[in-house]
């Protein structure tokens, strides 16, 4: 194709893009039956200006003709679309089919795979968590194992996403893993049959006979149900309704807004949970709590930090502003916007910021975050691992509890038990009275 022909083609593409945007704008405007004349068209913003279309064509030609490596038109246009969307804000993005599928998995909480969480390891990927009753557990995979080959293909520790993608697949299909295990010289071979796996976003345990602990790692479509089951399990294990709960939202990046709203509703009898403003009817909403508190008014302390974002902040603000919970930790991330996923052609999608949300007190936390009631400073330790049933051997002293291994959990337990002076001293970095004597 000649340079002139390619330029003509690109110019026509720009004109078509402008026409498409004009039509799309009309479709969106027609969703508001009360609008007599769409404002966008009245101001002449319905189509791409001719000069901008010509500039786009010129830039594409320069890149196509002069860039050090050949680039096809499809790649250039895909990159232009991605750049256009991502330039809007930090949270809007254009999703490829693979990225869209990954997002659907993370929000649905369910996928077909073998049921493990992995991290980069030496010569492979290391199993950091094995889900209960998963295909990996049934096959004999252990936490700490290092997967070095998947279906006879070596695993690159630097390409974690590729390893995860290869372990997922159709339900009922088989996968072969070569595993290096500590204390074993030879590689172990496993054949694992993929099955539907439910991601676990909630874990819980009793800290003392009176107080429970619930950690929420993300918000998926199933998180509210998981939370409700966890509370019921804690009630049964305690033999009575606990007096209070520590809800740990540290390093929870968010997820499905509706899940955070449902959990807030589970703990509230009344009050606003969250409100939002946007340009479309769907982007403007107010969520109110309905009667019914699954803990019957038990005390709540929420742990937050700079990794608590989005849906985590919606839950924290809802419980805090309605005087239902006390917050302990560090200032939260400060993401005060809502994104909508819009499917497109060929399996692609648009993740677009459509609303700004406000806490029950009417504040926007965007780029500000939430300041806890008890603000901690100094070096931060990561959340401690949950207690396990086999941490202690018979005849040996009991293993340390989560509350003694995790200083912030210890402070939350002190707050639940009414030792406010000890909480203040702990927040300032001073030594506090041993937890065991306070929990009697």
Query: CA 253, CA 367: separation in Å to the nearest integer?
Result: 15
Nearest Cα to Cα of residue 47 among 79, 9, 16, 78: 16
Q: Is the four-CA dihedral 56, 61, 63, 64 of positive or negative sign?
A: positive
Residue 32 annotated to the active site: no
Question: Is residue 240 within 8 Å of residue 92, measured between CB atoms?
Answer: no
Tokens representing 271 are 């009050």
Establish how many alpha carbons lie within 13 A of residue 419's alpha carbon, considering only the half-sphere containing its beta carbon.
Answer: 19
Long-range contact pairs involving 121-127 (C-beta distance under 8 Å, separation at least 24):
121/146, 121/157, 122/146, 122/157, 123/148, 123/155, 123/157, 123/180, 124/148, 124/149, 124/155, 124/157, 124/163, 124/180, 125/155, 125/157, 125/160, 125/163
Facing residues of 304 across strands?
Answer: 329
Q: What are phi and psi of 222, to 5 degrees?
A: -100, 0
* CA distances from residue 224 to 97, 258, 261, 267, 296 in whole angstroms, order as listed: 28, 9, 9, 11, 17
Rounded CA separation 86/92 (Å): 5
Q: Which helix (H) or strand (E) holds 195?
A: strand 195-198
Which residue from 234, 396, 223, 245 is spatially nearest to 311, judged by alpha carbons?
223
Choosing from 235, 299, 335, 351, which is the catalytic residue?
A: 335
Single out the residue of 186, 112, 114, 174 nearest to residue 148, CA to CA. 186
Q: Quick one: which of 38, 83, 87 has its CA closest to 56?
A: 83
Measure the CA–CA gap between 307 and 298, rounded to whole angstroms.
26
Which of 310, 337, 355, 410 is catalytic? The answer is 310
Question: What's the rounded Cα separation, in Å, for the pair 98 and 102?
Answer: 6
* Contact of 305 with 283, CB cutoff 8 Å: no
Element (H, E) at 81: helix 73-86
Whether 2 is catalytic: no
The single residue of 145, 265, 321, 387 carrying the catalytic annotation is 321
**DSSP state at residue 391:** S
Q: Let me know if 321 is a catalytic residue.
A: yes
Catalytic residue IDs? 310, 321, 335
């Amino acid at each position: 194709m000649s340079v002139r022909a390619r330029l003509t083609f690109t110019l026509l593409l720009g004109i078509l893009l402008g026409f498409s945007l004009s039509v799309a704008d009309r479709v969106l405007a027609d969703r508001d039956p009360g609008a007599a004349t769409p404002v966008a068209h009245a101001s002449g913003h319905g189509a791409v200006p001719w000069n901008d279309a010509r500039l786009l064509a010129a830039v594409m030609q320069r890149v196509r003709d002069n860039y050090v490596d050949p680039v096809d038109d499809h790649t250039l246009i895909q990159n232009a679309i991605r750049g256009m969307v991502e330039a809007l804000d930090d949270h809007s993005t254009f999703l490829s089919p693979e990225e869209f599928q990954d997002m659907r998995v993370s929000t649905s909480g369910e996928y077909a795979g073998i049921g493990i969480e992995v991290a980069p390891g030496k010569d492979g990927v290391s199993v950091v968590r094995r889900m209960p009753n998963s295909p990996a557990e049934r096959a004999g995979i252990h936490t700490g194992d290092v997967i070095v080959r998947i279906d006879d293909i070596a695993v690159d520790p630097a390409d974690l996403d590729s390893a995860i993608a290869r372990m997922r697949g159709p339900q009922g299909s088989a996968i072969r893993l070569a595993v290096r295990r500590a204390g074993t010289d030879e590689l172990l071979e496993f054949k694992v049959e993929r099955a539907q796996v439910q991601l676990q976003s909630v874990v819980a345990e009793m800290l003392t006979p009176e107080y429970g602990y619930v950690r929420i790692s993300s918000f998926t479509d199933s998180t509210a149900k998981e939370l409700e089951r966890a509370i019921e399990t804690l009630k049964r294990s305690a033999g009575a309704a606990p007096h209070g709960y520590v809800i740990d939202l540290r390093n929870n990046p968010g997820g499905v807004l509706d899940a955070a709203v449902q959990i807030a509703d589970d703990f509230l009898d009344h009050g606003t949970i969250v409100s939002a403003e946007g340009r479309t009817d769907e982007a403007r909403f107010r969520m109110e709590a309905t009667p019914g508190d699954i803990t019957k008014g038990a005390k709540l302390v929420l742990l937050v930090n700079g990794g608590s974002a989005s849906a985590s902040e919606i839950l924290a603000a809802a419980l805090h502003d309605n005087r239902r919970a006390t917050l302990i930790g560090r200032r939260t991330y400060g993401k005060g916007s809502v994104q909508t996923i819009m499917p497109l052609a060929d399996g692609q999608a648009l993740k677009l910021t459509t609303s700004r949300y406000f806490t029950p007190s009417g504040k926007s936390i965007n780029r500000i975050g939430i300041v806890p009631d008890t603000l901690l400073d100094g070096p931060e330790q990561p959340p401690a691992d949950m207690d396990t049933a086999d941490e202690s051997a018979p005849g040996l002293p009991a293993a340390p509890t989560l509350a003694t291994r995790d200083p912030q959990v210890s402070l939350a337990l002190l707050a639940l038990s009414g030792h406010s002076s000890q909480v203040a001293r702990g927040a300032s970095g001073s030594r506090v009275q041993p937890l065991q004597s306070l929990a009697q």
